[in-house]
Amino acid sequence: MTGFTTERLGWRPWLAPLAEDELTDAHHEALVDRARAASPYFRLLARDPDVLHARTKTDQDIFYNPDGGLPRAERELAATATSRHNGCVFCASVHARFAGHYSKRPDDVRRLLDEGVDARQDARWRAIIDAAVSLAATPSALGAEHLAALRAAGLDDLAISDLVHAGAFFGWANRLMLSLGEPTQEEQ
């Protein structure tokens, strides 16, 4: 495997996904978005449809809910920092592209991938990345000092809660992506 990248990668499962023609209505409901039936990752998770459904609805509200809180760019930044720290090259590639796109700061995101979570950033991104990385630790190292830094950087309670959820969600997603298959150079 190469290092962290913002290129589009594929992902190859190590267990057999369900075949597209095996998917029932219940599976499609679990996939939420019908287009996801094309993805071997989601068709593999469809082996346990109830958990997949809960996972997907949780994911979408954490990242897409536009009602205040942390801007989308910084939810994606938290996802990228968590993935970078845990070592999920695939997740980091996807969410680094989102973070770069929504923030219009692709070079800063790129530096996070290239140099790691300690790479130079402005004060607000520093606080967000530090909080995400501390939360990614096992046991968690997130503390009152991180919340104080986030408040000093202008985050309100909903924004901090969004950051916690975005980081925590990638504690979930990274572990599935890393352990059920591997990234490939060709996009699928």
Partner 1 sequence: MITDVIDHLAGIAPGSSLDRLRDRRPDAREHAQRGYDALFTPDDEDEVTLVERDAVAAFVTGLHQDLTVARFYADRLAELSPGLLKAVEAEIEAGRATGPYGVYQGALAAESREGPRYRAGDPAALGVRLAAAFEHAHLLVFRPREARAEALRDLRAAGWSETGIVTLSQLVAFLSFQVRVVTGLRLLNQEGVSA
Contact between 94 and partner 1 per CB under 8 A: no
Task: Write out the DSSP string of 32-99.
Answer: SSGGGGG-HHHHHHTTSHHHHHHHHHHHHHHHH--SSSS-HHHHHHHHHHHHHHHT-HHHHHHHHHHH
Nearest distance in Å: CB 82, partner 1 = 10
Residue 3 binds to partner 1 (criterion: CB under 8 A):
yes
Question: Closest by alpha carbon to 105, among 149, 141, 73?
Answer: 73
The Cα 184–Cα 92 span in angstroms is 14
Pattern 163-182, partner 1, x by CB under 8 A = xxx-xxx-xxxxxx-xxx-x
Site for partner 1 in 13-72 (CB under 8 A): 14-16, 44-45, 47-48, 50-55, 57-58, 60-62, 65, 67-69
Residue 53: closest CA among 33, 39, 35, 76: 33
Of 72-80, 84-92, 103-111, 118-126, which part binds partner 1 (CB under 8 A)? 84-92
- The contact set with partner 1 (CB under 8 A) reads 1-4, 14-16, 44-45, 47-48, 50-55, 57-58, 60-62, 65, 67-69, 85-88, 116, 135-140, 142-144, 147, 151, 156-158, 160-165, 167-169, 171-176, 178-180, 182
